[in-house]
Amino acid sequence: MNTPSHPPEYYMRIALDLARRSSALPYPNPWVGCVIVREGRIVGKGFHRGAGTNHAEVEALIDAGPKARGAALYVTLEPCCHFGRTPPCTDTILKAGVREVYYAMKDPNPRVAGKGAQILRRHGLKVHSDYCVHEAAALNEMYIKFQTTGLPFVTAKVAASLDGKIATRTGQSKWITDEESRRRARQLRAEHQAVLVGINTVLSDDPHLGPRDSSSAEPWRIILDSHLRIPLNSQVVKSGKCIVACTSRASAAKKARLESAGVRVMTFKGSQVPLRPLLKRLAEREIISIMVEGGGEVLGSFFDQKLVDRVCWFVSPVVLGSTKARVAVAGDGAARLERAFWLQETAIEKVGNSWLIQARPSKPAGRLFLPNTRL
């Protein structure tokens, strides 16, 4: 008989730790970890490394081998039951002879969403859910947003003075924050598949927007450039992973030159690039996490349209002053306080000589799958 020596939460937290081990972003797939427990002992461990690779359950079952028969499986997300890049995990679990399954949270993917648990129960397995569910949801907040809204998870990143400025009245911006803060900002960037800026940022700073070391994956650089003013010799164009969003009024010849240089050009009707349709098209390309880094008008538009899911705001101990200095967030803004972009779950930490404030909107755009009772 398979009798665990610890409560389910104990094994689930081990699975959650495993889920975080992947050195690469698994997107568009979720972070998942799994352990196999037999007679109170962990006999198999696994985690998902990315799309097209074995799922965590398969890795753990391979690790357990014949010891998986009659054992209990603990996994941070409901086992999948459909063919994608890999076969259904439910089939593998049934073939391995597992008798009991514990999972942290229901998979928000409509192709699963409870169906995986139903299949396992139908074949006589004992299935339990909602263990460490909030930790599991926090781990996969980007995946949840993508699956429940069809849009990428958007982080707004700002590095500003104490009075909310990102450059002096003459346009000088390097550097408002110190090296330690900039290093932390690059770490945050590495958590996302893409970085988005406006064309003015490219023209004024010619940023690289990539990692400083080879251990991090190259992000997509997404540039909002309605009229295709982007220089062909800019660093983002030369990066090899650049998407430029423009309008139908942009030069067809310039578009052709950019495409010849390897740039993906997305064209939209109207005088400005519409943000929500852009995010929808990026999600269709399986880009599910984006860090928006400016400038002020771009960030303001994202806040105005309630498209921000997380804020990472570096505050430097300097006052720039002047009404002509560039502000961190522009846009239309709120006419009344009740319509402002209120934040919650605020965390503040000291980074170098700056403070990093992280927070989330009071009304999140994604719907979390957080059942109140165990199934």
For residues 364 and 366, what is the distance between their CA atoms, to the nearest angstrom?
6
Which residue shows structure tokens 């499986």? 73
Which amino acids are annotated catalytic? 57
Residue 37 contacts residue 2 (beta carbons within 8 Å): yes
State the Cα–Cα distance between residues 294 and 206, nearest whole angstrom. Answer: 13
Residue type, 338: E
- 16 residue type, one letter: L
Tally of CB atoms within 10 A around 323: 6
DSSP state of 65: G
Tokens of 83: 């063919």
Query: Is 282:194 a contact under the CB 8 Å cutoff?
Result: yes
What is the rounded distance in angstroms from the CA atom of residue 215 to the CA atom of residue 112? Answer: 33
Task: Count how many Cα atoms sit within 13 Å of the Cα of residue 55 in the half-sphere of its side chain.
Answer: 23
Smallest Cα–Cα separation from 293: which of 143, 214, 192? 192
